[in-house]
């Protein structure tokens, strides 16, 4: 998957892609010819990553993990205005899932420009040139969050703590009733 045929292949990048079905689907050039099919394939692969995160962190990981990132994305206007709330939520979740598959902060630069390019091709990013650096930081933060989750899982987390996180029952819709 080297962009320049005269360049030396990035073997680390290729290793990560081979073990990362979501990342492989996300980077597929199909986004340029059939964005709807591309989105369906990416969503299907994300479902598998999300199931793994749910198994490890419990059903509420989406609320405590993804929603602050979605709020940040909305606040910094990173999304194309016509993207639905579900589309915004899904995009942030998928970005975190990509980070989870990438697995290491040091490896994000290998993929970041490709990820941003794919989001642009899919028409997800706000094309307004204002505050582009802030928008890029928001995208980076979502991917970074996924790498931190992977690091957390890969470290020797005491089972009692992992079970505590898994068993949290945060009923944020109840509003204290």
Going 33 to 37 to 39 to 41, the CA torsion angle's sign is: negative
pLDDT of residue 161: 67
**Is 61:167 a contact under the CB 8 Å cutoff?**
no
What is this structure's pTM?
Answer: 0.81
pLDDT of residue 169: 57
pLDDT of residue 152: 77
Q: How far apart are CA 155 and CA 158, in angstroms?
A: 9
**Which of helix, strand or coil describes residue 129?**
coil
| Mean pLDDT rounded to a whole number for the chain | 85
Q: How far apart are CA 96 and CA 89, in angstroms?
A: 11
Domain boundaries, the chain: 11-167
Residues 6+ apart with CB under 8 A from 39: 122
Q: How far apart are CA 68 and CA 72, in angstroms?
A: 6
Helix (H), strand (E) at residue 50: helix 35-57
Q: How far apart are CA 96 and CA 147, in angstroms?
A: 8
Rg of the chain in Å (alpha carbons): 17
- What length does the chain have? 177
Per residue in 122-132, pLDDT (tens digit) is: 999 998 888 78
């Amino acid at each position: 998957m080297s962009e320049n045929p005269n360049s030396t292949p990035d073997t680390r990048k290729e290793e990560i892609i081979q073990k990362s079905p979501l990342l492989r689907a996300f980077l597929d050039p199909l986004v340029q010819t059939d964005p709807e099919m591309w989105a369906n394939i990416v969503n299907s692969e994300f479902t598998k990553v999300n199931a793994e995160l749910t198994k490890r962190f419990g059903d509420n990981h989406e609320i405590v993990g993804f929603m602050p990132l979605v709020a940040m994305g909305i606040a910094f206007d990173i999304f194309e205005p016509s993207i639905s709330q579900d589309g915004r939520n899904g995009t942030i979740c998928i970005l975190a899932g990509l980070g989870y598959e990438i697995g290491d902060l040091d490896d994000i630069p290998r993929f970041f420009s490709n990820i941003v390019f794919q989001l642009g091709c899919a028409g997800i990013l706000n094309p307004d040139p204002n505050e582009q650096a802030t928008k890029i930081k928001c995208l980076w933060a979502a991917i970074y969050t996924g790498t931190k989750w992977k690091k957390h899982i890969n470290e020797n987390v005491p089972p009692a703590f992992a079970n505590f996180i898994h068993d949290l029952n945060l009923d944020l819709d109840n509003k204290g009733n």
